[in-house]
Amino acid sequence: MKAQSSLTTVLACLLTGIATAQTTHVVGPGALANIGAAMAVATAGDVVLVHPGNYPSFNATRGVTIRAVTNGTVVASGTANIPAGETLHLVDLVLNRFFVSSGACSIDRCRFPFPAGSATWGIVLQVTNARVHLQQCEVGNAGEPYLVFLTGLAGLFATNSTVSAVDCTFRSPDAVTWQGVPGGPAIDLVDSTFHGSKIVATGGDGRLPSPLPGPAVRAVNSTVWISDSTLTGGMAVSGPGSPQRACPVVATSGRLARCTLVPATCAPPGVPTTGPLLGVHRVAPLQSGSSFQLDFQSVPNDYVGVFASFALNHYAFPELEQLVALDLATLLPLSVLATNGSGFASGSWALPPGTANLNLWLQAVAPGALPLKVSPVVGGVVR
């Protein structure tokens, strides 16, 4: 069932009430020379608007929004060390490598491509002691075999972190190495949680002289909840026993729902149990003055409660299986949607004009036996 909810007046009042005095810092010709220069003068809540170009690496130390004027035309790399209580927002960027080492970060419609050729480090997005929320991102990419001398490979590598991803692709490149390093996992987790919906993850292929392929997801002392996704193990494309695929998921804690696995079966410690999860799909980024739509997948002929907030936070409740990422200080009950016989429900909400660069985040809860199922968080910076 699809619900159309007209909440323009309510959203306009609330968005106006929480809006702060934002300053916009422009980067490009005739303005600031690079993103680092903007970070030097920005304060929490500011917007850094970047014109097309290739820029040097930057270090983000405040909770600002860094957004490309045109999607996919700003190329850089960088690091993030964000203070508690602030959130960095990266929007429409191409980041050759990015390390988040503390704080909270949302990443919306960004690409993280692997460079071609040889390297000693094969990870394009690394998260340590942080919270990261990804939407419509491409992390890693297929391409020529990647020659790795010292370390392994992964698209995303997270340690002691909380990561969510909606409508994203993850890819580890193929490995050619003389030191026994296999093709890497697309998503590599250590002491972390990963909550994904509508993702595509593909492990790296293994080629001689080290033909071991990598899984789509590897979770060490970590929990994964993944729904409505396609997870493919890498292929051993040369050497004894080839062609043969790796397990798509190597994890012992968590659950999968409505996922396509390649290969479909795997020996332990492979795919975790399957069961109900609440999935979500953001049809398009939020646009000021337009309606936005979210599609949910859950249990057939049931209900989904949708909540909104104007900031991200981090809460764990014993009654809820997954973490709540909405800030409770600005929490808004938005809609109750009914799922059809296939478990599908869709909601549409109108954003008033004049809300560009503000944040609106949504998360849903499905009823049923405790603990209740919670969707990954979606929404983001309003364009």
Query: Is 177:214 a contact under the CB 8 Å cutoff?
Result: no
User: 29 lies in a domain?
Assistant: no
Q: What is the CATH number of the domain that holds 317?
A: 2.60.40
Last residue of a domain, one of 225, 256, 275: 275
Three-class DSSP category at 12: helix
Q: How confident is the model at residue 4 (pLDDT cuts 50, 70, 90)?
A: very low
Radius of gyration for the alpha carbons in the chain, expressed in angstroms and rounded: 21
Q: What is the mean pLDDT of the chain?
A: 87
Give tens-digit pLDDT for 295-346: 999 999 999 999 999 999 999 999 999 999 999 999 999 999 999 999 999 9
Same domain membership, residue 266 and residue 118 = yes
Q: Provide the terminal-to-terminal Cα distance of the chain, rounded to the nearest Å.
A: 27
pLDDT range class, residue 228, cuts 50, 70, 90:
very high
- Domain residues for the domain of 179 are 110-275
Among the listed ranges 130-144, 265-279, 294-308, which one has the minimum average pLDDT value?
Answer: 265-279
Please state, for a pLDDT cut of 70, what percent of the chain lies above it: 83
3-state secondary structure 95-155: EEEEEEEEEEEEEECCEECCCCCEECCEEEEEEECEEEEEECCEECCCCCCEEECCCCEEE
Q: Is the pLDDT at 261 greater than 70, yes or no?
A: yes
Residues 376 and 240 in one domain: no
Q: Distance between CA atoms of 135 and 204, rounded to whole angstroms?
A: 22
Q: How many structural domains are present in the chain?
A: 2
Asked if residue 16 belongs to a domain, the reply is no
Residue 212 domain-assigned?
Answer: yes
Q: pLDDT, tens digit, for every residue of 178-212?
A: 555 567 899 999 999 999 999 999 988 776 655 67
Q: Are residues 262 and 352 in the same domain?
A: no
Whether the ω angle into residue 318 lies within 30 degrees of 0, i.e. cis, is no
Indicate the pTM of the whole model: 0.93
311 shares a domain with 257:
no
With a cut of 70, say whether residue 60 has pLDDT above it.
Answer: yes
Is-contact 294 362, C-beta < 8 A? yes
Q: pLDDT tens digits for 75-125?
A: 999 999 999 999 999 999 999 999 999 999 999 999 998 776 545 457 889
